[in-house]
Structure 1
Amino acid sequence: MNQTEQITRQTFDQVMAPNYAPAAMIPVRGEGSRVWDQEGKEYIDFAGGIAVNCLGHCHPALVNTLQQQASKLWHVSNVYTNEPALILAKQLIDATFAEKVFFANSGAEANEAALKLARRYANEHFGEHKDQIIACHHGFHGRTFFTVSVGGQAAYSDGFGPKPGAIEHIAYNDLAALEALISDRTCAVMIEPMQGEGGVIPATDEYLAGVRALCDKHNALLIFDEVQTGVGRTGALFAYMNSPVVPDILTSAKSLGGGFPVAAMLTSDSIAASLKVGTHGSTYGGNPMACAVASAVLAEVNTPEMMANVNAAEVQIRQRLADINDQYQVFAEVRGKGLLLGAVMNDKYQGKARDFLTAAVAEGLMMLVAGPNVLRFAPALNITESEVSEGMDALERAVAKVCQSSD
């Protein structure tokens, strides 16, 4: 393709594998919570790159950090360490329960590391028989074969041949189901403190406390997948901080890099000891570019002021959704916490979440769905009151149009 040839949405169909079906418009520039497409049309961004762009687009602190690191050191491999990786590790340890960190590039890779570590730890301390992993139906933990098998959504894991074994699934928020299944053969229980892809469903405190107790009883590790809920998304640095429990292993990605690929697995000294030299690795994990950016993200996000903005924006969005629903009666409930919220379609609009999404884009609002029945909100944590208002105005126009066409 020469430089003068026009790039359009049709170019995608010509050159890309067909596993995605992107929107007709192509974003070309972003600033804060605003995005512009090829035609110059402006959008308010409530999608955040699927809960990734926690500081919006092209945040000055991240741009400056990336430019500075780009002129110093890009990559050295894990034959060596590097200063940005060590600085970021110390930041994460100082801010959380963790004593040790492993870096990767994506949530799937962080979860892969967590699952391998749980199996390795159980093998070393209890024997080969302790290999069962328990996870939840409708969970999402990544797209590697191991993580997609643990994820509990057959649509994503079927059709690729034999799956990794010793993986069982139960209903989310159902403590009795876990109690019936867990045993001394269980090496780990992996859950999201709030299911994201599964429909923006928070775990109850009672459920989490019960899961923690059952894991302790059976010497199983509790793994929290905080890829979507972490780094300020729910109004705390990590969702576990607003719960009654502390996990044994926690995974983070998405917002951790604010748009630059980076992930981390956090755990204790005693559990991390099972990752002896050579047992696991990642070519780019701990890359100095990624770690420098993530350090800047944490410095910006982990402040009382940012968490206050997250909580204020949640209140504003919930109120506007209530106002819209009073007029149009489309939502059964609004679930979630902080700036990971889900508006659930009522009986009349079952299966039509994507209709509202499409209408919102036409009105200048980028949004997400979480399954066929939930509109998902995951805007930047630093979104302003006026930007929320502008985005909700667009959503109200979109809802009006969908309702009119349905009547």
Structure 2
Amino acid sequence: MSHLFPTYARWEVEPDFAEGSIMTGKDGKKYLDFTSGIGVCNLGHRPEVVQTAITNQLNQFWHVSNLFTQEQQETAAKKLAAAAELDFVFFSNSGAEANEAAIKLARKATGRETIITFNQSFHGRTFATMAATGQDKVKQGFGPMLQTFMYANFNEIETLEQVMDEDIAAVMLEIVQGEGGIHPATQTFLNKVQKLCHQNGSLLIVDEIQTGIGRTGKAFAFQHYQLQPDIITCAKGLGSGMPIGAVVAKKELKDVFGPGSHGSTFGGNPIAIAAAIATMDTIFKESFLNEVQQKSEYIVNKLQELLGDVPEVKGIRHLGLMIGIEVKGNLPFLLKELRDQRLLTLPAGENVLRLLPPLTVSITEIDQAVATIAAAIKALSKTAV
């Protein structure tokens, strides 16, 4: 009998060891991991440079509280702000906490209450971020939501124009709706969102929890679109598996989060900060990000080549190494079949196979994964479901 709340639909695979792109189960089977811990292990499992940084910090101190100045936090904040082309950072423990802080920051800065998000978005499971999420299934059973969120349709600017006015504190969006089914925003849509924010004195918050830290071939996904957000949030890939999130904001918002306005006991924990610095030092190099874009082009071309004319495939969407294959068949069956073939993948949206390979994935591993996926999808038509 398990003493854990049954909040997760567990897979039949139990990890025993992991390194690079490979996870070994307790049954001795080796799996090619195209989940990256749901977009967390962007450098693969246990990257040596991060492990070394963590070990060094373990031998210094583990926790002292944020009452103390910590040089490592300043170093990490400087690197993160520079990569995001913004100015000030608040460290949290997770993406949901980062989004919660961004919501508080926007409301306090503007003196307004209402924030607009988008249908099919996902921003977290705290009470505010659950309310911000544009998916009813996340909210079921928890009673009335916070009334200060409104929703528009993603990539449909008309629905935003209908609710946008000078009472709106902020518009909050994902560049690619990840949990919603791997739906990238269009340039035209994002340009108009930013213009509406400027016209109404509203802040633009970009949720980069899943898209940030190199996942799309840029440090952050908004940089593909020449946007200038007021606030961004990041987490997942920032610590290579250590729990850390962050809010990054423009300098005009510095004094809004003054002493006592917000806080986190474990936010910016020294171990997580050490991991984040080593992760950023690796991923934010131009040569590394260029390789991510090259791998993205390679894998998508391969998928199009093998699946472009397969009736069971409705479409392939991507930005960088964040890839969605929308299928007509039984997605749970497909996911299980891929696991049986030793390939770990994820669901997204209603019927989308989501691929989040490590950014360090090799061409050989890409070829192996694509061949396995193509064979499994083609087999879908032969199942009586």
TM-score by length of 2: 0.97
Residue 178 of structure 2 aligns to which amino acid in structure 1? G
Residue 161 of structure 2 aligns to which amino acid in structure 1? E
Matching of residue 242 in structure 1 with residue 224 in structure 2: yes
Is the CA contact (8 Å cut-off) linking 2:88 and 2:250 kept in structure 1?
A: yes
1:274 — aligned with what?
A: 256
Aligned counterpart in structure 1 of residue 277 of structure 2, from 282, 295, 302: 295
* Cα distance between partner residues in 1 of 2:305 and 2:82: 42
Aligned counterpart in structure 2 of residue 255 of structure 1, from 212, 237, 255: 237
Can you list the C-alpha shifts for 1:136-158, whole angstroms capped at 9, x where unaligned? 01100011010010011111113
Is the CA contact (8 Å cut-off) linking 1:200 and 1:335 kept in structure 2?
A: yes
Can you list the C-alpha shifts for 1:295-327, whole angstroms capped at 9, x where unaligned? 000011011222122122212221232233257
2:147 — aligned with what?
A: 165
1:366 — aligned with what?
A: 344
2:303 — aligned with what?
A: 321
Is the CA contact (8 Å cut-off) linking 2:181 and 2:350 kept in structure 1?
A: no
Aligned counterpart in structure 1 of residue 94 of structure 2, from 106, 121, 124: 106
Count of equivalent residues:
385
Aligned counterpart in structure 2 of residue 353 of structure 1, from 318, 331, 342: 331
Matching of residue 399 in structure 1 with residue 364 in structure 2: no
Can you list the C-alpha shifts for 1:55-78, whole angstroms capped at 9, x where unaligned? 000111011111111101111111
Is the CA contact (8 Å cut-off) linking 1:359 and 1:401 kept in structure 2?
A: no
* Cα distance between partner residues in 2 of 1:81 and 1:172: 41
1:30 — aligned with what?
A: 18
* Cα distance between partner residues in 2 of 1:271 and 1:178: 25
What's the CA shift for 1:399? Answer: 2.4
Aligned counterpart in structure 1 of residue 164 of structure 2, from 152, 175, 182: 182
Aligned counterpart in structure 2 of residue 344 of structure 1, from 301, 310, 326: 326
2:27 — aligned with what?
A: 39
Task: Return 228-237 or 92-101, whichever deviates more.
Answer: 92-101
Can you list the C-alpha shifts for 1:158-200, whole angstroms capped at 9, x where unaligned? 3212321221011101111111101111001000011000010
Residue 369 of structure 2 aligns to which amino acid in structure 1? G
* Cα distance between partner residues in 2 of 1:17 and 1:93: 38
Alignment of 1:134-213 (within 5 A): 134-213=116-195
1:20 — aligned with what?
A: 8
* Cα distance between partner residues in 1 of 2:292 and 2:381: 30
* Cα distance between partner residues in 2 of 1:268 and 1:328: 46
Identity of aligned residues (%): 36
Is the CA contact (8 Å cut-off) linking 1:189 and 1:220 kept in structure 2?
A: yes
What's the CA shift for 1:341? Answer: 0.7
* Cα distance between partner residues in 1 of 2:324 and 2:19: 25
What's the CA shift for 1:328? Answer: 4.1
RMSD: 1.4
SS at match of 2:382: helix
Is the CA contact (8 Å cut-off) linking 1:354 and 1:372 kept in structure 2?
A: no
Can you list the C-alpha shifts for 1:323-349, whole angstroms capped at 9, x where unaligned? 332574321111121100101114xx2
Structure-2 change in CA distance of 1:406 and 1:323 (3 Å):
farther
Residue 96 of structure 1 aligns to which amino acid in structure 2? A
* Cα distance between partner residues in 2 of 1:324 and 1:406: 23
Is the CA contact (8 Å cut-off) linking 1:236 and 1:307 kept in structure 2?
A: yes
Alignment of 1:63-142 (within 5 A): 63-123=51-111, 130-142=112-124
Task: Return 324-333 or 353-362, whichever deviates more.
Answer: 324-333
SS at match of 1:244: coil
Matching of residue 333 in structure 1 with residue 315 in structure 2: yes
* Cα distance between partner residues in 2 of 1:277 and 1:315: 46
Structure 1, unaligned stretches of length 5 or more? 1-12, 124-129
Residue 92 of structure 2 aligns to which amino acid in structure 1? A
* Cα distance between partner residues in 2 of 1:244 and 1:265: 19
What's the CA shift for 1:391? Answer: 1.7
* Cα distance between partner residues in 1 of 2:299 and 2:113: 43
* Cα distance between partner residues in 2 of 1:33 and 1:27: 13
* Cα distance between partner residues in 1 of 2:287 and 2:211: 18
Is the CA contact (8 Å cut-off) linking 2:306 and 2:374 kept in structure 1?
A: yes
Matching of residue 305 in structure 1 with residue 283 in structure 2: no
2:49 — aligned with what?
A: 61
Matching of residue 286 in structure 1 with residue 286 in structure 2: no
Is the CA contact (8 Å cut-off) linking 1:145 and 1:157 kept in structure 2?
A: no
SS at match of 2:257: coil
* Cα distance between partner residues in 2 of 1:389 and 1:78: 46
SS at match of 1:148: helix
Task: Return 86-95 or 397-406, whichever deviates more.
Answer: 397-406
SS at match of 2:57: helix
* Cα distance between partner residues in 2 of 1:282 and 1:216: 31
Is the CA contact (8 Å cut-off) linking 2:93 and 2:267 kept in structure 1?
A: yes
TM-score by length of 1: 0.92
